[in-house]
Amino acid sequence: MLKSIPFAYDDELKYEIDLRGLSHSTFKNYRSHLRRISEHFSKDMADISVEDAKEYIHRLKSELNQHPQTINQCRAAFIFFRQNVLGKHIPEFALPRHKFVRQLPDILPMEIIVELLDSLTLDHRAVLSLCYGSGLRISEALALEVADIDSANMKVYVRNGKGQRARYTILSAYSLGCLREYWVTFRPKGPRIFPARRDSSKQKPTQHVQSAFSSAYKKRFPFSNKRITPHTLRHCFATHLLDGGTDLRTIQVLLGHKSIQSTSIYTQLTDFHFSKLVSPLDRGRE
């Protein structure tokens, strides 16, 4: 990958992102896509045309076989940059969204999750136990501060969830035990629970935790074709709550979903509801 053309629009892009109340994660993702486009063509981003963008997006699909969500994110980054940083209008139809079929996430049994967590180092176990025990996204877990843990009421305050929506969720006794052991062992400086090793003002890098969990799963199941990531633990949290009889509305609140439709996907993953259903063919033969 060429790196001769620097991306010179960090400040302008961040300003426009902040102006619209979008997250820092959005800024990082958009900047990453824009840098790759610029490097691919060896051009300044201001000189990338709509036709260039179409060619690049086509390459993502045809040559690199990128996931449709990645392709759509790249498209969104280019449109955002062109319209809001450069002030150049681009019709929506000029770069069509990539269609894709949303697949159901893979789910792990509770016993396997506990086994995987127990196999991890303490720092990674503390983070990932929150993803499963509280239904947090990995970014939410890593962004937690000491004051966000309410051990008296067994609650976790998520201050910067997706869409900048704050919420409370439950705190598991297992996670609390991990956090207390982690705190005694590492004594992190500053308000962050999981600061970066060299700079306590920054959070621990996401990829370190993702890699540790992926390695633990592959070691336990070397021939599995499931796509297991830390986000799988969030899906398992919701599915296993539903299995236990928790209502969908409560799960929606704990996950921080804006719409109940986002939460309803877990009704297709749970065994609880299916076990209670009787096929009309069987009822008709009673």
Q: Catalytic residues, which ones?
A: 137, 162, 231, 234, 257, 266
CB contact at 8 A, 45 and 7 = yes
Inter-residue long-range contacts of 15-19, CB under 8 Å, 24+ positions, other chains counted? 16/80, 16/84, 16/85
DSSP 3-state helix, strand, coil percentages of the chain (rounded to 5)? 60, 5, 35
Whole-number Å distance between alpha carbons of 70 and 56 = 13
Cβ-Cβ contacts under 8 Å for 34 (sequence gap 6 or more): 7, 9, 13, 45, 77, 78, 81
Inter-residue long-range contacts of 183-191, CB under 8 Å, 24+ positions, other chains counted? 185/122, 186/123, 191/145, 191/146, 191/147
Identity of the residue numbered 238: A
